[in-house]
Structure 1
C-alpha cells in the first residue's frame, strides 16, 4: 500500500484535502491526523471492519479499547445512553482539549471499539484539522498513530517511520503542541478514577471533582515501557551521572545525554550529543528525543538527574520518563 502524505494548514485546512481524507475513512481505510497531543490513527468508529485495521497496522493487542473522537456534543447521542451532570460539566470546561472521558456505552458501539466492555472512551480534540476531519466523516476511533509500544508520534515524520505502507494517508500539519497523550478519566463508576496521566493537569480535575477523584495507582503504572533500540538510564545524582558517562566512555558505548537544566551539560566528552528536555507542562519533546536518539544509533541514552520536584511539577512527564526507563522511583 502506498501511503499518501497531504500537507495541510494546521489552522485552516484545505476543505478539499479534508474531504479526500474523509472519503478514505468511509472506504474503511485508515488515516493518521494531528491532534493537540499526538498524532492519531483514525478509522470510522461505527465500522468494526475499519477499526480492525487499526489493530493490524499498529500490532495492537486484541481487546484493547479505543477512544472515539468527536467534533460536537451532538455526536455523543449515538455513543452513550446518557451524559451525567459531572461529565457535562467536564465537557463544558475542558472540551475541546486533552481530556478523554469513559462513560457507559450504547450497544451499537462496536465491540472491538469498546474492547468487549460496556463502556466507551470519548474525546474532543482541540486541533482544527482533527475537528474538520471528524465534522466531515463522523466519529472516529483513534489511538496514537504509532506501532504498539513505540513512543507516540509528534509529527508526520514519526508516523511515517512506524506506519508507512500500512495506512492509506497522513494529514501532515506539522508538530503537535502538548506532545503527551490525553488524560484518561473513568466516570463509569461511583469513584472517578484517572486511568492515564496526560495533557490535562490533575489539579484542574481535582478542583472540579474533589474527593470523588481517585488519583493514586493510575493504570499508567501498569503500562509497559517503550520499545527502543537502546538502553535508557536515569542518573540518581551528579556523582552517578559522571560515573555512568565514564562507564560509557571506557566501554566505547555510543551514548547521548538528556538534560533538563544547563548545569548538567558539563560532561566528560564534549562531543557527546546533549538533548535538552523541556519541562513545560504544555509542550513536551520527550517522545521526539526518544526517536531522535534511535535515528542517531545511540546505544545508551543517559538522563541527567531529574529535578527533585518533577513528580509534583509535571507528574505526566515524570510518569512517561519512568515508563521509558522501566525504572521505579
Structure 2
C-alpha cells in the first residue's frame, strides 16, 4: 500500500490537505493524525470494513475495543443512548481534551468498535488538526494509537512513519503531541465515576467536581491478574524490544541498585540502558543513559516517556533499568504505562 504523508502545521492548517485526508476517512480509508495525547490511527467509526483496517494495520486483537472521536457535542446524540448528568459535568469541564468517557451505546455503533460490549468510549480531542479533521470528515472517527500493537505509543510523526508507512492510506505529520500519554478513560455509566485508565486528567482533577471517584482495581499495581475494562489496556503495551525492569524506592537506593545491576549485566557482555530523570542523570557514568524529564515537573516525563522507550530501541540495548516515579497526580498515569512496558517487573529497593 502506498502511504501519503502530509505535513500540516497545527498553527496554520492547510485545509486542502486536511480535506484530502477527510475524504479518505469518508471513503473507508485509514488516516493517522496527531492529537494532544498521542498520534491516532483513524477510520470511519460507522463503517465496519473501514474499522477492521485499523486492526489489520496495527496487528491489534479484535477483542480490544476502540475509542470513538467526535468534534462537537451534537455528534453524541446518534452514538449514545443518554448523557447522564455526571457525564455532562465531565464534558463541560474537560472537553475538548484528553479524557474519554464510557457511555451506553446505540445500535448505530458497530460491534467491531466495542468488542460486543453495550458501552462505547467517546472522546473529543482538543488538538486543532484532530478536531478539524473529524469535523471535515463529517463522521465519528474510531482511533487507537497509531503504532504497531504492543509497541510504545507514537508522540512524533516519525514514530508513526516507522511503524505504519505502507500499512495505512495517509499519515498527517503535525508535530509532537503535548500530553504524551493516552487519554484518561472514565466510566460514567454508574453513579460513581470510575477511572479505567489514568491519563492527563487525573483522579485529583475529577475529585474537584465529584465527591467520590473510584479506580478500576485491574489497573492498580500488583493486580495484573485482573482484566482491565478500558480500551487499549487489556494486553501488554508500550514495550520496547529490550526487557524493562523498574526500580522503586528512595533515590539513593535506586541509583545504587541500578549501578550494581548494570555492572553485572555489562560483565556478561550486555548493553545496558538506564531510564532516569534530570535529577539523577549525572550519577550514571556508563551505559545508554536517557532522562525522561524532571521529577519536579511530571508533565515532562509524561511527554517524553514513549519517545525515550523508542530511543532505547534505536540504541540497541539489551536490558533497560528504569527509575520509578512517585504515584501521585500525573505520576499514576506515568507509572501505569511504565509498569505495562515492564510487563509488571517492578523491584522494590530501600535502605
* 1:276 and 2:291 matched: yes
Q: 1:19 to 1:176 in 2, by over 3 A?
A: same
Report the alpha carbon displacement of residue 22 of structure 1 after superposing the two structures with TM: 0.6
| 1:88-99 mapped onto 2 (5 Å cutoff) | 88-99=88-99
- The structure 2 residue matched to 1:230, chosen from 242, 263, 274, is 242
2:155 is matched with 154
- The structure 1 residue matched to 2:307, chosen from 265, 288, 292, is 288
Q: 1:290 to 1:132 in 2, by over 3 A?
A: same
Given that 2:111 and 2:117 are in contact with CA atoms closer than 8 Å, whether structure 1 keeps it comes out as yes
Q: Normalized against structure 2, the TM-score is what?
A: 0.87
2:273 is matched with 256
Deviations 1:94-132 (A, max 9, x none): 001000000001111111112111111000001000011
- In the alignment, structure 2 segments of 5+ residues that lack a partner are 228-233, 249-253
1:316 is matched with 333
Given that 2:219 and 2:336 are in contact with CA atoms closer than 8 Å, whether structure 1 keeps it comes out as no
Given that 1:196 and 1:218 are in contact with CA atoms closer than 8 Å, whether structure 2 keeps it comes out as no
Report the alpha carbon displacement of residue 268 of structure 1 after superposing the two structures with TM: 4.7
Q: Normalized against structure 1, the TM-score is what?
A: 0.93
Given that 2:65 and 2:115 are in contact with CA atoms closer than 8 Å, whether structure 1 keeps it comes out as yes
Aligned mates of 1:115, 1:83 — CA distance in 2: 21
Report the more deviating stretch, 168-177 or 228-237: 228-237
Aligned mates of 2:342, 2:317 — CA distance in 1: 15
1:24 is matched with 24
Aligned mates of 1:115, 1:125 — CA distance in 2: 23
Deviations 1:206-248 (A, max 9, x none): 221222x212514475542433221112235232111112112
1:32 match: secondary structure = strand
Q: 1:238 to 1:296 in 2, by over 3 A?
A: closer
2:260 is matched with 243
Given that 1:12 and 1:128 are in contact with CA atoms closer than 8 Å, whether structure 2 keeps it comes out as no
1:300 is matched with 319
Aligned mates of 2:237, 2:87 — CA distance in 1: 31
Q: 1:147 to 1:168 in 2, by over 3 A?
A: same
Aligned mates of 1:263, 1:121 — CA distance in 2: 39
1:233 match: secondary structure = strand
- In the alignment, structure 1 segments of 5+ residues that lack a partner are none
Aligned mates of 1:293, 1:143 — CA distance in 2: 23
Report the alpha carbon displacement of residue 12 of structure 1 after superposing the two structures with TM: 2.6
2:171 match: secondary structure = strand
Aligned mates of 1:274, 1:31 — CA distance in 2: 35
Deviations 1:167-226 (A, max 9, x none): 001111111011000000011123421110112111011221222x21251447554243
1:41 match: secondary structure = strand
Given that 2:152 and 2:237 are in contact with CA atoms closer than 8 Å, whether structure 1 keeps it comes out as no
| 1:150-229 mapped onto 2 (5 Å cutoff) | 150-211=151-212, 213-215=213-215, 217-219=217-219, 221=224, 222=227, 223=234, 224-229=236-241
The count of aligned residue pairs is 323
Given that 1:246 and 1:268 are in contact with CA atoms closer than 8 Å, whether structure 2 keeps it comes out as no
Aligned mates of 1:321, 1:81 — CA distance in 2: 36
Aligned mates of 1:257, 1:306 — CA distance in 2: 12
